[in-house]
Structure 1
Amino acid sequence: MMKRKINCESARAFPIEKALAKLGHFPQRTAEKEAWFLSPFRSETQASFKVSKTMNRWYDHGEGIGGNVIDLVCRILKCSVKEALAYLNQDWSSFSFQQQQHFNTNDIGITITKIQNIKHPALIQYLNFRAIPLQIANTYCSEVWYTFKDKQFFAIGLQNNKNGWELRNRIFKSSSSPKSYTHLQRNSKHLIILEGMFDLLSLAVMNGSLIKDSDVMVLNSIAFIENVETHISNYEIVDLYLDNDSAGQNATLYLTKKYSHINDQCDAYKNHKDLNDFLCHERKG
């Protein structure tokens, strides 16, 4: 049966807390009827953004504005109502709000046609640009060929737990459906949580034994924090290597406050956006 698309009326019932989690914002404190967040609209140290759980409405005391979940998504992502509905409906598995190329995989589709070891010169050049040796890239990723709008493309691909692919080349980033996280399991009691495929590859360059001896979770989207939480209690030690942006920092704060056995490892790449930015800086130096 075809999945029914969300409309404005049904979208208003989408829990605001869940929408904020998808966007990388997590509560500073919660009660039975409300939750308080750092405002997603500006930098602040005291939570002034309230979500009413009973009414499913938000109010930003710092700006004196509020609304429903559609208003919130539109404002945070600077997108139209139609795009906000698509985001809440998860219709666009690779929807980009940074003006990058994006694909509506449900409507027009990415079709995977070939998977092989990475050997295309353009992809090898891209790996060199990102300071990733080919051997390491081929250990965790593949060269993925696919069609989109009757045209053929290729990219570096990381397969997720639902057999979808995260796709990256020098021009764009995208993904094929279904979108999910990637869990590399080695029966270890130590879990490493990373945000994207190049964080995985970068840590493999910087500390290959750590990656090989640990279980690894690549989120592929900060939105999957909620999904991977179910695995956290299975581990004795969990190390976070999330991006040094507001979404990554908020997710890190949320997890480290909630779980005593989670460690924030971002000091290893402080003053850099992420692990790959740090790696590239070190290699250039």
Structure 2
Amino acid sequence: MKSINSRLTCERARVFPIEKALAKLGHFPVKTAEKEVWFLSPFRSETQASFKVSKIKNRWYDHGEGVGGNVIDLVCRILKCSVKEALEFLNQDWPSFSFQQPQHLIPNETSLTILKVRRIRHPALIQYLNLRGIPLHVANTHCYEVWYSFKNSKFFGIGLLNNKGGWELRNRIFKNSSSPKSYTYLQRNNEKLIVLEGMFDFLSLAVLNEALINNSDILVLNSLAFVKDIDVCVSDYELVHLYLDNDEAGRKMTLYLTNEYNHAIDESSSYKNHNDLNDFLCHERKGRD
């Protein structure tokens, strides 16, 4: 039986805005009305939005599967985590969140401080890499174990350094980043550039095609918001290979880049039945097990 304190924590967490939780998980609305918001389902690939969030009730319902629930149910399902881990996720990025006034949600980015950087060796991070199909030696070639403080609490994650000295930070529960935010550009004076969306796309391609990674310059966007900042990088190459996600946002960005640059090639057909490179890698790994 749950304790009273645990039960109250869950009850309070249920009023955390589902829209904000989805945004942190990388899902954004395609249609907004006064009382409800519609998303592409976070549980599968689709072209018509079937996932509804009620602003009034703060509940979600997936019409494609006929299931729904509260924000805790949603985070547990998307992250495949426990209720305790879901509560940690909801509290971490907005630690000053007021359950009585959820509309006043203002995270303080400046409170994230990097404490130490080292080679990846924490067992929890190694386990997380295994779940994502990434060998430790591949991760250690390109990333680090980064410890940081956020609102007087300590956290650690796998870190990818960006072009301005900030970090993209990932572990099994949290996605975070330190300022300044930017893309990651690995310049090796090659004639070919590979453009990827995120850290695990990069690591997955390093597993799937190590020679390609070693013989190309690499640009990891870290956020699609930086795509219009990369002209200075893209224009100088003979070929630009695009490995962006197969979701709606990724497809739109691929179309934008192939229209903007004649030498940009869409490579997403190599994982056409999967959302991204890591999804494809994990599927291939399961097939070999």
- TM category (shorter chain) comes to 0.5 to 0.7
1:157 aligns with 2:159: yes
Whole-Å separation in 2 of the counterparts to 1:183 and 1:107: 23
Q: Which of these residues, 225, 228, 231, is aligned with residue 227 of structure 2?
A: 225
- Equivalent residues of 1:190, 1:215 under 8 A apart: yes
TM-score (norm 2): 0.64
- Cα offset for 1:259? 1.3
- Equivalent residues of 1:105, 1:176 under 8 A apart: no
- Cα offset for 1:40? 4.9
- Cα offset for 1:151? 1.2
Aligned to 2:65: none
Aligned to 2:112: 110
Count of equivalent residues: 198
1:256 aligns with 2:258: yes
Change (3 A) 1:140 1:105: farther
Q: Which of these residues, 137, 149, 156, is aligned with residue 147 of structure 1?
A: 149
Aligned to 2:214: 212
Q: SS at 2:193's partner residue?
A: strand
Structure 2 gap segments, 5+ residues each: 1-25, 33-52, 56-73, 76-88, 95-105
Q: Deviations over 1:38-64 (max 9, x none)?
A: x9549xxxxxxxxxxxxxxxxxxxxxx
Deviates more, 1:221-230 or 1:186-195: 221-230
- Equivalent residues of 1:144, 1:155 under 8 A apart: yes
Give 1:229's aligned amino acid: D
1:191 aligns with 2:184: no
- Cα offset for 1:210? 0.5
Q: Deviations over 1:137-174 (max 9, x none)?
A: 00000000011111111100000001100000001101
Whole-Å separation in 2 of the counterparts to 1:41 and 1:262: 30
Q: Deviations over 1:85-139 (max 9, x none)?
A: xxxxxxxxxxxxx976435664551110010000000000000000000000000
Q: How do residues 92-131 of structure 1 correspond to structure 2 at under 5 angstroms?
A: 101=90, 102=93, 106=108, 109-131=111-133
Whole-Å separation in 2 of the counterparts to 1:251 and 1:223: 10
Q: Deviations over 1:196-250 (max 9, x none)?
A: 0000000000000100110000000011110112221110100000001111100
Aligned CA-pair RMSD? 2.6
- Cα offset for 1:272? 0.5
Q: SS at 1:128's partner residue?
A: helix
Percent of paired sites with the same residue = 60
Q: Deviations over 1:6-43 (max 9, x none)?
A: xxxxxxxxxxxxxxxxx999xxxxxxxxxxxxx9549x
Aligned to 1:83: none
Q: Which of these residues, 271, 274, 281, is aligned with residue 272 of structure 1?
A: 274
TM-score (norm 1): 0.65
